[in-house]
Amino acid sequence: MSTTATRPATAPPVTGTASFPTSDPKEMERIFQLQKKHFHQVLKLTKPKDRIQRLKKLKASVERLTPEIKEALQKDFRKAPHETDLTEIMPTIGELNDAIRNVKTWMRPIRVKTPVSLFGATSKVIYEPKGVTLVISPWNYPFYLALAPLVAAIAAGNTAILKPSEFTPETSKVLVRLVKETFPETEVAVFEGDHTVSTALMDLPFDHIFFTGSTHVGKIVMAAAAKHLSTVTLELGGKSPAIIVPGADLKKAAKKLMWGKIMNAGQTCVAPDYLLLPEGKADEFVKYAKEIVSDFYGKGEDSIKQNQDYCRLVNQRNFQRVSGYIHEAVEKGAKLAMGGETDSAQNYISPTLLTDVPENSRIMEDEIFGPVMPILTYKTLDDAIGKVISRPKPLALYVFGKNNKAISKVLKETSSGGAAINEVIVHLVNPHLPFGGINHSGHGSYHGWWGFKTFSHEKSVFKQAPLASIEMLYPPYTGFVDRMIQLTKKFFV
């Protein structure tokens, strides 16, 4: 997510329960070899009905264990059950339903054109599974971001080893149970533990590695994959900006932005990270934001803190990091426009807005990953765009307004993994849109068809006809061959 490791796979350990003796590389090697053998003997040969059966079985397990999933997330970082439904269970079921409905179509070979110069031959693309895959998932959405890539891996016909985050041990326990009750270890297995487990797993020659986490750790994953020339999908993050263009409905924009920033206590890879709005509009935005937060969680700091719908930071490390951003920004001259209340005993940080934020403060350099939003103002839209393109390309960009010309200008002149107009976050739950980053915010994409493609190899197949026209161009290179070459170059190439 950020260069300061917001949801890393290699962070300091927390106490958890492992389902395998995960500190033993021999056990990882054993499972890896079992899955490799099973892949070649069974999964690589599966038909659509076989994969659909596996997906339906996984869906049934998710539905059966939903109460346990909600309880685990409540224990891990006091996530409200309704928020778990909205952000963990429903998107997972959505991915499963989409794959169940469409995997038969996805698996069909795609017929492609063949040049006239190769008259008689036919060409097609076959989607074959990559093989044994590794999914390293994060803590911020520890269920959905573990299961969504797993759904894609299964739909594409692969085996998978899942390494969940050590930061959410209760959710990891549920994942272990779900996998054990749904799949044999020859198809899907889970290894729990700290960064040493991830490191040991990446020593194995996986056919594909799917990592969700920080940009810093993403570089480590990519380097480890290079040793085996494993293909890699990196779902990272970055500072996703929100731009309010002149003439926008500020109240509606404030409602969307505050919901997106506060949900999961801001611990969302595509949460709006900082806000750019026209000069003179900051006070009005703050006024609306305060009203919206009161509507969501109650009036006053005590009401917000006591509200069971408001999440906490996942652990003390991340609490200290985010609260440190606030204190440092204020010390450098930023104004606390809303919130700023903290409680280290609960890892609690209230919804916070900062104005007049210095550009050289850490909160403007690192991905925040907390319920804090810096507000910057701009004189011209070109100034706002300039601030965005001066930073690494983000995972998401949000633009609010009614002026389609201005919105188009922002989209054309910036680059991001994805974008949403007059909305935040929800674009990632559309299985018909690819979800992924660019450069610092990630490599590759997934969800729906795009996830199936990510975990598949697009194999080209060329079938020659009994009488091949290409044979007319074989040596010896006579005058006839020369005339055929010239004819082909003129009319058919």
Q: DSSP letter string over 103-124?
A: HHHHTS-EEE---GGGTT-EEE
DSSP annotation string for 123-158: EEEEEEE--EEEEE--SSSTTHHHHHHHHHHHHTT-
Q: Tell me the β-bridge partners of 132.
A: 159
Give pLDDT, residue 126: 97
Q: Which of 269, 311, 341, 365 is catalytic?
A: 269
Going by pLDDT thresholds of 50, 70 and 90, the confidence category of residue 118 is confident
Most distant pair of Cα atoms in the chain: their distance: 92
Separation in Å, CA 466 to CA 118, 357, 471: 12, 72, 11
Q: What is the pLDDT of residue 23?
A: 59
Catalytic residue among 170, 187, 235, 367: 235
Nearest to 303 by CA among 253, 354, 351, 373: 351
Average pLDDT of the segment spanning 133-158 = 97
Q: From the CB of residue 310, how many other CB atoms can be counted at a distance below 10 Å?
A: 24
Query: Is 19's pLDDT higher than 60?
Result: no
* pLDDT (average), residues 403-414: 97
Structure tokens at 78: 């006091």
pLDDT at 491 > cutoff 80? no
- What pLDDT score was predicted for residue 1? 38
Burial, 461: exposed, middle or buried (Cβ in 10 Å; 0-12, 13-18, 19+)? Answer: exposed
Q: pLDDT tens, 254-269?
A: 999 999 999 999 999 9
Q: Where are the alpha helices (DSSP H) in 186-229?
A: 195-201, 215-226
Burial 17-35 (b: 16+ CB within 10 A, else e): ebbbebeebeebeebbebb
Query: Is 235 one of the catalytic residues?
Result: yes
Mean local confidence (pLDDT), 241-253: 97
pLDDT of residue 484: 87
CATH numbers and ranges of domains, the chain: 25-237+445-457 (3.40.605.10), 241-436 (3.40.309.10)
The predicted pLDDT at position 8 comes to 32
Q: With 80 as the cut, is the pLDDT of residue 492 above it?
A: no
pLDDT at 113 > cutoff 70 = yes
The pLDDT value recorded for residue 493 is: 65
Helix (H, G, I), strand (E, B) or coil at 69: helix
pLDDT in tens, 310-351: 999 999 999 999 999 999 999 999 999 999 999 999 999 999
245-251 average pLDDT score: 96
Percent of the chain with pLDDT over 90: 86
What mean pLDDT comes out for the span 305-309?
93
Among 61-65, 158-162, 192-196, 409-413, where is mean pLDDT lowest?
Answer: 192-196
Q: How much of the chain exceeds pLDDT 70, in percent?
A: 95
Stated pTM of the model? 0.91
Q: Is 269 a catalytic residue?
A: yes
Whether the per-residue pLDDT at 15 is higher than 70: the answer is no
Q: State the average pLDDT for the chain.
A: 92
Average pLDDT over residues 463-485: 87
